[in-house]
Chains A and B, each alone.
Chain A
Amino acid sequence: MMQATRRGVIGAAGAALVAPRLGSAQASARILRFVPQANLSNIDPVWSTAVVVRNHGLMIYDTLYGLGADFQPKPQMAAGHEIGDEGRRWTITLRPGLRFHDGTPVLARDCVASIARWAKRDVLGQRLDGLLDGMRAIDDTRFEIRMKKAWPGLAFALGKPSANICAIMPERVAQTDPFQQIQDFTGSGPFRFLRDEFRAGDRVHYAKFDGYVSRDEPTDFMAGGKPVHFDRVEWRVMPDPSTAAAALQNNEVDWWETPLADLLPVLRRNRDIVVDLVNGAGNLGVLRFNFLHPPFDNAAVRRAILPALDQRAFMDAAIGTDPEMSRVPAGAFTPGMPLANDAGLEVLSGPRNLAAAQRALRESGYAGQRVVMLSGTDIPVLQNLSVVAADLLTRIGFNVDLQAMDWGTHIQRRTNRGPVDQGGWSAFCTTWEGFDVSVPGSHQPIRGHGAAAWAGWPTIPRLEELREAWFEAPDLAAEKRIAEEMQRVVWQEVPFLPLGQVLPRMAYRRSITGVVKGGPALFWGVRRA
């Protein structure tokens, strides 16, 4: 029921002078107003890896498979699949009734073209691209993927929730160069993108797609049914966290994806607001080293940090002292996910010993070289992690030069492979989305393929061998064994150091129910009470 408010009275008085305000209480009840984590600056989920673009992609596109709450892939657009030729050939059948937003049916050839484009950009897609022996539509509802060798993880890759998702687009759209943005945003997901109403940096509007045929199953994270209970979902970009908090309290928005930790106590005190852990995968904090130049080209130097690394200190700085907002100890894989394990984790969970770290550094051969630590100041979590890391390294005995810059500069600086006196760097802190670092296939920090690796460019052949083995692992037990071995290698080679798992909360009006747990904000299943 709508309350009579003073603003309403003033507005009513003002209405005597003006045209009537749009909408009514009943109409707005059918609109979900959402504050996304960031500005949606582009809208192609294959072209961009930004999380907010992925979230947008999940609104308007559907995927062949979706992860369930158990993080196992289940058919979504697919009715099912058959595997033949000793695992090298997958024949996927589409479920009936699938339509794009323009009313045309989703055909097998649309899927083939979409997978081909995605395979050029996504890290797991590139794996498929390398294995691909051929892909073709058999008829309108079936298509075949032939690979040079078996890949049991194909369904996971096609349904993975992390960027880049394998969004199914019409063939004409999917034929766009993967390095160019698409111009046609016709999807087949539960919402239609209202392009005419799109204002980058301000608002993104979606309408319920009436032609969407949801699976006749309960909602199961990204799998199962995707029932929609709102006519429209309106994203409202708010760069200022205090404004977003005030808007939520004032009932001007319904749902805020990433409340600032500092503001959570205020929101919790409001009886009309629920503060909730929706994305249990959270984000993994990471301290990354540059393997190309001293001092971190020396494994002994990197290992010297381990005895003193206190993940709790990093997490307290990143997201506050509430222990529910973060999880430590965190190993190389996202805590709480199937491959998280305790192998060798005592190096981080045992008593911290600064003196041992100082001694290890002295014995490592460190010669006092300048350690340039990059810090992105416009992302508070990363800034805070960087400051703690710089302090830790200084106390251990490193000669630290903490360089603050905006995120745009940070991203460019870390592509510089030169030494620090030529604009290079030694270390930086960042976070990875929990889903990305939950499995070896999409876990960039754990890779060791040298020049082609993520910034830092470690060469660790053993990690690459193990990653390759993970792709071929026949079952979860085998995957776990590989993950444990990879984690042990991480403690020896230290391509990165996990700093803990950040578990950001979402905040929404108590009138909003049915929020789907497990990952990013999803808009199916949710309704207004």
Chain B
Amino acid sequence: MFAYIVRRVLATIPVMAIVALFVFSLLYIAPGDPAAVIAGDQATPDDVERIRASLGLDRPYLVRFGAWVWDILRGDLGVSIFTNLPVSTMIQQRIEPTLSLMIVTLILAVSIAVPMGVVAAWRQGTWIDRAVMGFAVLGFSVPVFVVGYVLAYFFALEWDLLPVQGYTPFARGFWPWLENLILPSIALGSVYIALIARITRATMLEVLQQDYIRTARAKGLNQSGILFLHALKNAAVPIITVIGIGIALLIGGAVVTESVFAIPGLGRLTVDAILRRDYPVIQGVVLLFSFVYVLVNLAIDLAYTLFDPRIRY
């Protein structure tokens, strides 16, 4: 197992190298010029050139790529063209809100969606099943930002129960932290809940047809024991796979959710950087997301062994 983990971690290196090359090349050929953005309309072409030179943007592709890779190997993600802050500092400032949002969303989604899927499978064909599946269709269909606006309207403006926007660091207390995350997490989690609930239902339906479930029933096990101890554990592998895939959805969804709820996370940092062509920030954040995604896949693979003893690495 240890050797497997080491192999998988080492395998991330070529993956990250390809991502780095791809991201850098894409940004290199993409239109836009941060020097022109900085210089503004009153600048002369010479001014723009001077700014471009001061930012090192006038250097050839290979020189810039080589310098960037060399910096990364030394643990330096570079400096933002606009804020002049180290990219690592900017990521550090933004990582807590995004992580918080993702964790709360994940907990919320799994704790709601899995029981929903289980119950829907158990009560297949009843109004409960139809209600759950109806919710799933709704969750898939309604965009995150619409859910966000509706939630903010009712829970913040109409009923004054929760704040509309912002983020409070965890260090300032659990409730202040959580109250800013409830609405964004529900908004972001709606698609995720729908996805997990559907997969859980489908997988559970298949498992509930198995002989060992019939045996369990024949032994006189109660319904909840059958559903949650026997059936769910055997249905876990596809569900965990979907949860893993869903983390990519969360990363994408966080961009929109953070904008709607004014949460200063990595999603907004990425959008702002793209709009301004802040290349070092874009490169740094995309690399980080790629790395996280590779690690999540590894964690999912390892989690399989917890639920299915037949899987060994």
The verdict on B83 contacting chain A, using a C-beta distance below 8 Å, is yes
When the two chains form the complex, which single residue of A48, A242, A252 contacts B163, counting CB atoms closer than 8 Å?
A252
When the two chains form the complex, which single residue of B34, B51, B80, B156 contacts A179, counting CB atoms closer than 8 Å?
B51
The answer to whether B164 touches A247 (Cβ under 8 A) is yes
When the two chains form the complex, which single residue of A43, A183, A250, A442 contacts B160, counting CB atoms closer than 8 Å?
A250
When the two chains form the complex, which single residue of A14, A201, A444 contacts B269, counting CB atoms closer than 8 Å?
A201
Against B, the Cβ 8 Å flags (1 = close, 0 = not) of A106-122 are 00000000000000011
Against A, the Cβ 8 Å flags (1 = close, 0 = not) of B225-266 are 000000000000000000000000000000000011110100
The verdict on B275 contacting chain A, using a C-beta distance below 8 Å, is yes
Assuming the contacts A243-B260, A415-B48, asked whether A14 and B33 have C-beta atoms less than 8 A apart, the reply is no
The verdict on A50 contacting chain B, using a C-beta distance below 8 Å, is yes
User: What residues on B are CB-neighbors of A14 within 8 Å?
Assistant: 174-176, 178-179
The answer to whether B161 touches A246 (Cβ under 8 A) is no
Against B, the Cβ 8 Å flags (1 = close, 0 = not) of A196-228 are 000111110000000000000000000000000
Against B, the Cβ 8 Å flags (1 = close, 0 = not) of A315-334 are 00000000000000000000
The verdict on B64 contacting chain A, using a C-beta distance below 8 Å, is no
Assuming the contacts A250-B163, A252-B165, asked whether A236 and B173 have C-beta atoms less than 8 A apart, the reply is no
User: What residues on A are CB-neighbors of B48 within 8 Å?
Assistant: 415
Against B, the Cβ 8 Å flags (1 = close, 0 = not) of A429-470 are 010100000000010100000011011000000000000000
The verdict on B108 contacting chain A, using a C-beta distance below 8 Å, is no
A349-371, CB < 8 A from B: none
A1-24, CB < 8 A from B: 5-7, 10-11, 14-15, 17-22
Say how far B118's CB is from chain A's closest CB, in angstroms. Answer: 30
The answer to whether A17 touches B174 (Cβ under 8 A) is yes
Assuming the contacts A39-B272, A240-B262, asked whether A250 and B93 have C-beta atoms less than 8 A apart, the reply is no
The verdict on B293 contacting chain A, using a C-beta distance below 8 Å, is no
Given the complex of chains A and B, what is the CA–CA distance between A432 and B94 in angstroms? 33
When the two chains form the complex, which single residue of A21, A49, A180, A244 contacts B54, counting CB atoms closer than 8 Å?
A180
When the two chains form the complex, which single residue of B157, B162, B262, B278 contacts A236, counting CB atoms closer than 8 Å?
B262
Max count, chain A CB within 10 A of own CB: residue among B80, B84, B93, B276: B84
Given the complex of chains A and B, what is the CA–CA distance between A443 and B272 in angstroms? 29
Q: Main SS of the interface on chain B?
A: helix
The answer to whether A163 touches B264 (Cβ under 8 A) is no
Assuming the contacts A201-B269, A239-B259, asked whether A18 and B176 have C-beta atoms less than 8 A apart, the reply is yes
Given the complex of chains A and B, what is the CA–CA distance between A19 and B171 in angstroms? 9
Say how far A418's CB is from chain B's closest CB, in angstroms. Answer: 14
User: What residues on A are CB-neighbors of B160 within 8 Å?
Assistant: 5-7, 250
Of chain B, the residue at the smallest CB distance from A455 is: B41
Assuming the contacts A49-B41, A122-B42, A239-B262, asked whether A408 and B153 have C-beta atoms less than 8 A apart, the reply is no
Assuming the contacts A41-B83, A240-B262, asked whether A408 and B276 have C-beta atoms less than 8 A apart, the reply is yes
Given the complex of chains A and B, what is the CA–CA distance between A264 and B164 in angstroms? 18
The answer to whether B42 touches A200 (Cβ under 8 A) is no
User: What residues on B are CB-neighbors of A409 within 8 Å?
Assistant: 31-32
The verdict on B107 contacting chain A, using a C-beta distance below 8 Å, is no
User: What residues on A are CB-neighbors of B93 within 8 Å?
Assistant: 199, 202
Bin the interface of chain A by size. Answer: 35 or more
The answer to whether A246 touches B40 (Cβ under 8 A) is no
Given the complex of chains A and B, what is the CA–CA distance between A180 and B159 in angstroms? 50
Say how far B78's CB is from chain A's closest CB, in angstroms. Answer: 15
Say how far A335's CB is from chain B's closest CB, in angstroms. Answer: 20
Of chain A, the residue at the smallest CB distance from B260 is: A240
The answer to whether B82 touches A454 (Cβ under 8 A) is no
User: What residues on A are CB-neighbors of B159 within 8 Å?
Assistant: 6
User: What residues on A are CB-neighbors of B54 within 8 Å?
Assistant: 177, 179-180
Given the complex of chains A and B, what is the CA–CA distance between A277 and B39 in angstroms? 29
Say how far B256's CB is from chain A's closest CB, in angstroms. Answer: 9
Given the complex of chains A and B, what is the CA–CA distance between A17 and B177 in angstroms? 12
Assuming the contacts A10-B161, A21-B176, A252-B164, asked whether A200 and B83 have C-beta atoms less than 8 A apart, the reply is yes
A397-427, CB < 8 A from B: 405-409, 411-413, 415
Of chain B, the residue at the smallest CB distance from A378 is: B275
User: What residues on A are CB-neighbors of B153 within 8 Å?
Assistant: 246
Against A, the Cβ 8 Å flags (1 = close, 0 = not) of B261-291 are 1101000110110111110000000000000
User: What residues on B are CB-neighbors of A406 within 8 Å?
Assistant: 32, 275
When the two chains form the complex, which single residue of B43, B80, B152, B175 contacts A49, counting CB atoms closer than 8 Å?
B43
When the two chains form the complex, which single residue of A179, A199, A238 contacts B165, counting CB atoms closer than 8 Å?
A238
The answer to whether B40 touches A42 (Cβ under 8 A) is no
Of chain B, the residue at the smallest CB distance from A432 is: B41
Given the complex of chains A and B, what is the CA–CA distance between A199 and B268 in angstroms? 12
The verdict on B149 contacting chain A, using a C-beta distance below 8 Å, is yes
The answer to whether B175 touches A250 (Cβ under 8 A) is no
The verdict on A392 contacting chain B, using a C-beta distance below 8 Å, is no
The verdict on A132 contacting chain B, using a C-beta distance below 8 Å, is no
When the two chains form the complex, which single residue of B32, B157, B179, B269 contacts A250, counting CB atoms closer than 8 Å?
B157
User: What residues on B are CB-neighbors of A123 within 8 Å?
Assistant: 42
The verdict on A47 contacting chain B, using a C-beta distance below 8 Å, is yes
User: What residues on B are CB-neighbors of A407 within 8 Å?
Assistant: 275
Given the complex of chains A and B, what is the CA–CA distance between A442 and B42 in angstroms? 8
The answer to whether A18 touches B175 (Cβ under 8 A) is yes
When the two chains form the complex, which single residue of A11, A42, A246, A442 contacts B179, counting CB atoms closer than 8 Å?
A11
The answer to whether A239 touches B268 (Cβ under 8 A) is yes
Max count, chain A CB within 10 A of own CB: residue among B160, B164, B174, B278: B164
Given the complex of chains A and B, what is the CA–CA distance between A45 and B92 in angstroms? 26
Given the complex of chains A and B, what is the CA–CA distance between A123 and B82 in angstroms? 21
The verdict on B44 contacting chain A, using a C-beta distance below 8 Å, is yes
Of chain A, the residue at the smallest CB distance from B40 is: A49
The verdict on B221 contacting chain A, using a C-beta distance below 8 Å, is no
Say how far A141's CB is from chain B's closest CB, in angstroms. Answer: 32
Q: A252-B164, A413-B31 are in contact. List 9 more A-B contacts (CB 8 A).
A: A18-B174, A179-B47, A199-B264, A244-B262, A247-B262, A408-B31, A408-B275, A411-B36, A412-B33
Binding site for B on A (CB under 8 A): 5-7, 10-11, 14-15, 17-22, 39, 41-43, 47-50, 121-123, 163-164, 177, 179-181, 183, 199-203, 236-240, 242-244, 246-247, 249-250, 252, 378, 405-409, 411-413, 415, 430, 432, 442, 444, 451-452, 454-455
Question: What are 24 A-B interface contacts by the 8 Å CB criterion?
Answer: A6-B159, A14-B175, A14-B179, A18-B174, A18-B175, A20-B173, A41-B278, A47-B38, A48-B38, A49-B40, A49-B41, A200-B85, A201-B94, A202-B93, A239-B259, A243-B260, A243-B262, A247-B165, A250-B164, A252-B165, A406-B32, A408-B37, A408-B275, A412-B33
